[in-house]
């Protein structure tokens, strides 16, 4: 979220001074300089516990598989056979389509309406700030309320954003729309890992959530492509924005088909 809030103004300033090619290379170098040392020296797998030691207090960083929640969960094959997996994937596909349609094309939409690059970069920063707020607020809510119901409500935020961007305005409406997109993106990144772990356990979480992310990345591609294609055909964004808003509604509605019995690992996770 901090990166989403700070990189757009930085990129805009770099492009204005050095051009977009050198700016792209510089941002790529930043990824390497921050990412590689972090993954090499700051991340590590938990230390394995001795076979005769089942106390998590004796080894607070150890994996203890005896009667521990981390040893519980279904396999990927079992998850793929469940209705819960497909409802979650369906909802993830449509909310990522809605969010991508708004965020990927927001700079181009603002430029098309005459917004200066520096102001457009500021509006994009609003996405990051709202994303931080959304993740904290939604994270707190799903600790206290049924996560699919929270999701159904928050996933309507991109619909508001798309509705505000229809027409020709790009003032306060664009800022509020960016906040709505950030809220939806932050909620999306919170609730789906949470619900996946509560629905299928964590023993094979990496495989199951990896499969779930196929829907996420597909939605990112579909949302960006739909908006681009419709803008090329009609010369404006209105039709694409309403379609993207409908995707948010579909995602929110899909969450209402999930029941408490679809999350058997809810209590065990605590």
Length of the chain in residues, anyone? 270
Cα dihedral: 71, 210, 95, 192 (round 10): 10
Name the residue with higher pLDDT: 48 or 71. 71
> Band of the pLDDT at 71, cuts 50, 70, 90?
low
Task: Give 232's contacts (C-beta < 8 A, 6+ positions apart).
Answer: none
Q: What is the pLDDT of residues 112-164, one digit of tens each?
A: 888 888 888 888 889 999 999 989 999 999 999 999 999 999 999 999 999 99
> Quick check: 46 pLDDT over 90?
no
> Quick check: 83 pLDDT over 90?
yes
Name the residue with higher pLDDT: 2 or 151. 151
> Quick check: 5 pLDDT over 80?
yes
- In percent, the amount of the chain with pLDDT more than 70 equals 88
Tokens of 71: 């040893």
Average pLDDT estimate for 172-183: 91
């Amino acid at each position: 979220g901090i990166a989403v809030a700070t990189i757009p103004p930085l990129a805009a300033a770099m492009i204005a001074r050095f051009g977009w090619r050198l700016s792209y290379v510089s941002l790529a170098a930043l990824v390497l300089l921050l990412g590689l040392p972090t993954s090499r020296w700051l991340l590590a797998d938990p230390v394995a516990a001795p076979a005769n030691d089942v106390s998590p207090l004796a080894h607070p960083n150890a994996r203890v598989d005896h009667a521990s929640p981390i040893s519980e969960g279904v396999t990927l094959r079992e998850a793929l056979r469940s209705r819960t997996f497909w409802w979650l994937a369906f909802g993830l596909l449509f909310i990522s389509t809605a969010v991508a349609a708004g965020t990927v094309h927001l700079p181009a939409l603002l430029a098309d309406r005459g917004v200066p690059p520096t102001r457009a970069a500021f509006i994009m920063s609003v996405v990051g700030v709202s994303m931080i707020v959304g993740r904290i607020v939604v994270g707190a809510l799903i600790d206290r309320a049924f996560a699919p119901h929270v999701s159904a409500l928050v996933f309507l935020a991109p619909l508001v954003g798309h509705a505000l961007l229809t027409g020709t305005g790009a003032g306060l409406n664009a800022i509020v729309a960016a906040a709505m997109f950030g809220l939806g993106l932050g909620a999306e990144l919170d609730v789906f890992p949470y619900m996946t772990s509560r629905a299928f356990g964590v023993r094979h979480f990496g495989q199951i959530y990896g499969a779930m992310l196929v829907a996420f990345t597909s939605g990112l591609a579909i949302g960006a492509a739909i908006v681009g294609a419709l803008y090329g055909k009609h010369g404006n964004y209105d039709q694409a924005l309403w379609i993207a808003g409908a995707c948010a509604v579909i995602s929110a509605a899909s969450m209402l088909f999930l029941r408490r019995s679809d999350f058997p690992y809810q209590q065990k996770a605590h």
